[in-house]
A and B are shown apart, each in its own frame.
Chain A
């Protein structure tokens, strides 16, 4: 029997953390080969474990837990107190033994858990009841849609108390479900390939050890983040990946440009993180201020008595964090600059994994967004709009870049916008599916760009490339596959995920998200066009540079091949139920949705079916984009030199070249205009208020001290001390004459005294 890895999922990040520590402490001594070996071994183990996690999760969905096991899992997921938990467990066993049927028992458990918790702790009771009502509601929805295909499968949660403050348990634990398992696999595969690729790409780098240590730490943090069972822990993981991103963007810190980019990334993310922290606190208090547990918050958000206004504010604050981390407008500006880091890092962090942390946050706390923003009943709201808007502005910016990596960076922004938009329109599975497929072909594109640069004297300028398809056949082939996948050409991965998003936007929940659909279609065209531009500029025509390009070694090309195979195949994991009338058996279609989409503490979503006309339109648009790019950049047809002739075109080009002047806005207007007056105000405040207080305190203290010294210490205290001294001295001077040293004199006095005393006794008394 294979050990149940679902219960010990913490091992996956722990292995990477151990690898980080090993490399950190022994990397320098062991040398570069051993360092890379440690990293690669650790990621490989983590990948194997992740695959086991995914396999066991699939098994769990296929054979959902029942009876006492289900009840125990529900309790663990709810984050109820163990005491109440045992109560529930007892009653559940009784109930299940009475009713033999499993599905009925499942429903019974939910009801019982609600009732018995009522008699237990009052706060926990309310939550449990919400869970019960929500659970049955979800079940109803799913029952209608899947024909009772599968019931609610609670995630596996294991948490231990981190610390306790004011009766609130701050926990740290793992939450394993399909989403987490999917992320584990994605992160581990790409991390492993990047680890391998980097051995060649960073060969001979002076900070090789530092680089691998950070790669391990990043992977550990990301795995920690996706396995988080509560929002506070997510925050920790979120910041950890941010730090790693900072460290790796500034890997070559000798150049000021790189350190600036690292700082920019870090500071821009801080802006959003404020929103995230506030959002975490708001959702915590909204959900009864008892637990940071993700599922607990989700259950609250879906319960009938949720405060929608509070959830709206919470969701918008959380979205602030998403905006910065996942490069949404208007905080996307750091992502292109982040390309200053080594290319494998760009592939791993700034394309495939870390930047989707924001998307993952929405997916994880989807109930909060769903209820707060009214995704189910709306046809336009902030998150969907920002997603749609970002996807277009990112796509447009990609056209004016001459740096291959920056084209890919803007493409990433655009695709992240696509994911956010998908989640915004309620197409949860489509958004997460796009996250999954995008990770592979975008990583492939980045690593391909790295391979090209490796061959061309470390330049990313497309004007110095061209004609590389014959010199680098493998890189060219994989890049082409990934480009087509990104452009959404049938039957590659991007086609399936993008069409699902478009279908989701078209169907909506109750009404269609028409604006988002238009945004999506425009972007489908733009994506194909700018990717076509990059592809033709890089691989066709005559070579324009001065190096002697050659195919990269196997260490680089094999990861590219693996990723391009992923880009081809992974789209089929969510093959639609009905594809142009082609109906595959139920066990093959929509597997991704079946296994990844949560069925516990999750809003009841309508799943859009495959829409043939949309698929045709989007494919035509994509093909048109590619064709236009081919005509314009390869055949040199079309209105070239338009920017020289037309003022409007030139203005547009300049506008794009300056990235909508957002950087100008941030640096020169917001930062400059705040820092001057702010500095002056701070200076004034410092001089007049703070210094006033400090100086006043000083002067006052000096005066008081002077008074105390002069009048109390010198006069009174010293007076007493000196006085007592001089008095005793004087009296001693006087009395010394009494002491003559003559014994007989003493005796005389003694007897005289005795006589006096006798006289007193005799005559007076």
Chain B
């Protein structure tokens, strides 16, 4: 079985995600881009997991790993959205490049 297609799909998704993270000003969109990156990684995990255990279909460790990533991503998005909500409440804006309180 070839994993190339999956890896290619993962790479494309990853690049879109990185672009979204770096280029978007809207914080919600940044978070969503992060989801894209995470999902590209999930595709890779599942693809590699299936490739390595092709003779042993009962072993689903790659898929389980992807599930963990999804769960943590959900939590991360929860926290991230909460922060975004608070930023919005305080500043009436969710433009991410306005938030430079941590400037050295």
Alpha-carbon distance between A622 and B21 when the two chains are bound, in angstroms: 139
- Spot the interface stretch: B42-50, B71-79, B96-104: B96-104
Contact A741 B22 (CB under 8 A): no
Q: Would you give the shortest CB distance from B44 to chain A, in whole angstroms? A: 14
Chain B 41-96 residues near chain A, CB threshold 8 A: 96
Q: Are B99 and A744 in contact (CB under 8 A)?
A: no
Which A residues from 708 to 745 make CB contacts under 8 A with B? Answer: 735-744
Cβ of B7: which chain A residues have Cβ within 8 Å of it? none
CB-defined contacts of B23 to chain A, threshold 8 Å: 744
Given contacts A742-B97, A743-B96, A744-B30, are A737 and B104 in contact (CB under 8 A)? yes
**Distance of A736 Cα from B104 Cα, bound (Å):** 5
Q: How far is the CA of A748 from the CA of B23 in the complex (A)?
A: 9
Q: How far is the CA of A751 from the CA of B104 in the complex (A)?
A: 21
- Cα distance A741–B30 in the bound complex, in angstroms: 16
Contact of A166 with B by CB under 8 A:
no
Name A485-516 residues within 8 Å CB distance of B: none
Does A747 make an interface contact (CB < 8 A)? yes
Q: A698 to chain B: closest CB distance in Å?
A: 54
A268 to chain B, nearest CB (A): 91
When the two chains form their complex, are residues A747 and B21 in contact, meaning their CB atoms are under 8 A apart?
Answer: yes
The docked-state distance in angstroms from the alpha carbon of A736 to that of B102 is 10
* Neighbouring B residues of A741 by C-beta, 8 Å: 99-104
The interface residues of chain B lying within 8 Å CB-to-CB of A740 are 100, 103-104
For the complex formed, measure the closest distance between the CB of B52 and the CB atoms of chain A, giving whole angstroms: 20
Q: Is B18 part of the binding interface, using a Cβ–Cβ cutoff of 8 Å?
A: yes
Determine if A744 and B97 form an interchain contact, defined as CB atoms under 8 angstroms apart.
yes
Give the docked Cα–Cα distance between A748 and B96 (Å): 14
A747 touches B104 (CB 8 A): no
Hey, what's the 0/1 contact readout for B1-19 against A, CB within 8 Å counting as 1? 0000000000000000010
Distance between Cα atoms of A751 and B22 in the complex (Å) = 9
Quote the shortest CB–CB distance from A414 to chain B (angstroms): 108
Measured in the bound complex, the distance between the Cα atoms of B103 and A239 in whole Å is 88
Residue of B nearest to A755 (CB): B18
Q: What is the CA–CA distance of A736 and B100 in the complex, to the nearest angstrom?
A: 13
Query: In the assembled complex, which residues on chain A have CB atoms less than 8 Å from the CB atom of B21?
Result: 744, 747, 751
Taken together as a complex, chains A and B put the C-alpha atoms of A738 and B96 apart, in Å, by 18
B101 partner residues in chain A, CB cutoff 8 A? 741
For the side of the interface on B, what is the size category?
10 to 19
Contact partners of B103 in chain A: CB under 8 A = 739-741
Q: How far is the CA of A738 from the CA of B21 in the complex (A)?
A: 19
**A748 proximity list for chain B (CB < 8 A):** 22
Contacts of B97 in A (CB 8 A): 742, 744
Interface string of B22-33 (1 = CB under 8 A from A): 110000001000
Q: Which residues of B contact A737 (CB under 8 A)?
A: 104
A740→B104 CA distance, assembly (Å) = 6
Decide if A743 touches B99 in the complex (CB within 8 Å). Answer: yes
- Among B30, B99, B104, the most chain A Cβ lie within 10 Å of the Cβ of B104
- Please name the residue on chain B nearest to A754 by beta carbon: B18
**A740, B100: Cα distance in complex, Å:** 7
Which residue of chain B has its CB nearest to the CB of A748?
Answer: B22
* Chain B residues whose CB sits within 8 angstroms of the CB of A739 once the complex forms: 102-104
Known: A743-B96, A744-B30. A738 touches B104 (CB 8 A): yes
Partner of B104, one of A735, A743, A744: A735
Chain A residue at minimal CB-CB distance from B103: A741
- The residues of B that contact A738 with a CB separation of less than 8 Å are 104
How far does the Cβ of B99 sit from chain A's closest Cβ, in whole Å? 7
* Residues in chain A near residue B96, CB distance under 8 A: 742-744
In the complex, how many angstroms separate the beta carbon of A747 from the nearest chain B beta carbon? Answer: 5
Q: Name which residue of chain A comes closest to B18, CB basis.
A: A751
Closest chain B residue, CB of each to CB of A732: B104
Q: How far is the CA of A148 from the CA of B99 in the complex (A)?
A: 126
Q: Which chain B residues border A743 with CB–CB below 8 Å?
A: 30, 96, 99
Interface string of A551-574 (1 = CB under 8 A from B): 000000000000000000000000
Cα distance A747–B37 when bound, in Å? 13
What's the Cα separation between A751 and B15 when bound, in Å? 10
Chain A residue with Cβ nearest B21: A747
Chain A residue contacts of B99, Cβ below 8 A: 741, 743
In the bound assembly, the distance between CA atoms of A744 and B104 in angstroms comes to 15
**Complex contact A744–B100 (CB within 8 A):** no
Q: How far is the CA of A739 from the CA of B101 in the complex (A)?
A: 10
Report the minimum CB–CB distance from A545 to chain B (whole Å): 112
Q: How far is the CA of A737 from the CA of B22 in the complex (A)?
A: 19
Q: A747-B22, A748-B22 are in contact. Are A742 and B30 (CB under 8 A)?
A: no
Query: Could you say which residues of chain B place their CB within 8 Å of the CB of A742?
Result: 96-97, 100
Give CA–CA (A740, B103) in the complex, Å.
Answer: 4
The 8 A CB mask of A743-762 against B (1 = contact, 0 = none) is: 11001100100000000000
Across-interface contacts of B100 in A (CB, < 8 A): 740-742
Among B23, B99, B103, the most chain A Cβ lie within 10 Å of the Cβ of B103
CA distance in complex: A741, B101 (Å): 6
B residues with a Cβ closer than 8 A to A are 18, 21-23, 30, 96-97, 99-104
Given A738-B104, A742-B96, 16 more pairs with CB closer than 8 A: A737-B104, A739-B102, A739-B104, A740-B103, A740-B104, A741-B100, A741-B102, A743-B96, A743-B99, A744-B21, A744-B22, A744-B30, A744-B96, A744-B97, A747-B21, A748-B22
Give 24 CB contacts A-B under 8 Å: A736-B104, A739-B103, A739-B104, A740-B100, A740-B103, A741-B99, A741-B100, A741-B101, A741-B103, A741-B104, A742-B96, A742-B97, A743-B96, A743-B99, A744-B21, A744-B22, A744-B23, A744-B30, A744-B96, A747-B21, A747-B22, A748-B22, A751-B21, A751-B22
